[in-house]
A and B are shown apart, each in its own frame.
Chain A
């Protein structure tokens, strides 16, 4: 990224190849919509180019990327308040559900659907820390930097999010 900052814009291609899947995953978990996620990936990479001078090289590139992604996510949500998590989620589940059905038992698949629904029922704050720690496999320290808070606060938030998830999961299952 520092090379990009110095003016070598072609290096952005490398960064895209390395990180766009990860970023897409995060956005997908957060928004539940692959189309929106793709748009946001594009926007995030555009902003990286445009605001490349703001990258200090202090934190890792990943934290910076997530930081930008969060901002875009918030912007998008504000622009389109009707964008809800789970409606499109279910629709999309059916698409990948088809792939899974071939080699996994039906029951497992149902369980996963329930879990995804439970995740979609979480508040965005709770969903966010779970996504960042579980799916994106970021260290608490990095999450704290992205969310601009302390590691301790993240610890507590992850714990609460897990409890919340369990509750919702059990409620849906019944």
Chain B
């Protein structure tokens, strides 16, 4: 421990603020170092002398003044609390001044007008609802019309008209039993190959219906045209319809079946089984 450190700690030593361990180290050093001892005694002398400085007593008036101040403060505090109340009451009163009341009435009136306007607008919206319902009924009616038209068109002697009739089925969202029956009849009996092919295409899209599937399977043996037979075989693979294997075997056994069709059917049977 060097002397500078020691000197720095002297006030602490005198102050009795030094931790015991540090005090012991310091005492050791002091015992061996006359220089520091001298420093200590000089500082100590000053320190002790400082302790002799007297502080005069504050005058007794101070106490009186303090209690007077305390009372005054308490009084003030009460007044302040009361005054905050007073401010509130005044503000409330202000609300009832004529001018303020008029403003209040005016704003309430505005509010009422707004509310009425809102209700009126809402009622006006009801006719539009009815209008929407009308449109809905209209569109279902149109759909029914289209269905009827399609059914009648299918019986038209012109192949072009019949083709158009089949294409209408794509626009009909709700296909019912009558339409399916009509389509199956067209598929089996229509004299035009093209019409039959288009009908098959339309029916393949409706294959979710069990009746359509059944009709398609039955149709296999009724077809004469190789084109339609091949197309049907393709649809069967597409639908993975295993029930079609039996009528296809029947077709294979028939004498008049085209050779190309036969190989196609054999291929299809293999694919399905």
Count how many pairs of residues, one from A and one from B, have CB atoms less than 8 Å apart in the complex: 103
In the bound complex, CA of A135 to CA of B53 (Å): 9
In the bound complex, CA of A50 to CA of B80 (Å): 13
Residues from chain B with Cβ under 8 Å of A158 in the complex: 11-12, 15
In the bound complex, CA of A99 to CA of B52 (Å): 13
Q: Which of A9-59 contact B (CB under 8 A)?
A: 9-10, 12-13, 16, 20-21, 24-25, 28-29, 34, 37-38, 41-42, 45-46, 49-50
Residues from chain A with Cβ under 8 Å of B12 in the complex: 140, 155, 158
- B270 on the interface (CB 8 Å rule)? no
Q: How far is the CB of A104 from chain B (nearest CB, A)?
A: 9
**Size of chain B's interface in residues, with CB distance under 8 A?**
34
With A13-B67, A29-B55 already in contact, 13 other A-B pairs whose C-beta atoms are closer than 8 Å = A16-B66, A20-B62, A21-B57, A41-B58, A41-B62, A42-B66, A46-B73, A112-B53, A134-B51, A155-B12, A162-B11, A162-B43, A169-B46
A→B interface (CB under 8 Å): 9-10, 12-13, 16, 20-21, 24-25, 28-29, 34, 37-38, 41-42, 45-46, 49-50, 92, 95-96, 99-100, 108, 111-112, 115-116, 119, 130, 133-135, 139-140, 155-156, 158-159, 162, 165-166, 169
Q: List 30 A-B contacts (CB under 8 A).
A: A9-B73, A9-B74, A12-B70, A16-B66, A20-B62, A20-B63, A20-B66, A21-B58, A29-B53, A29-B55, A34-B58, A38-B65, A41-B58, A42-B62, A42-B65, A45-B66, A46-B69, A46-B73, A96-B56, A100-B54, A119-B53, A130-B50, A133-B17, A134-B47, A135-B50, A140-B12, A155-B9, A155-B12, A162-B11, A166-B42
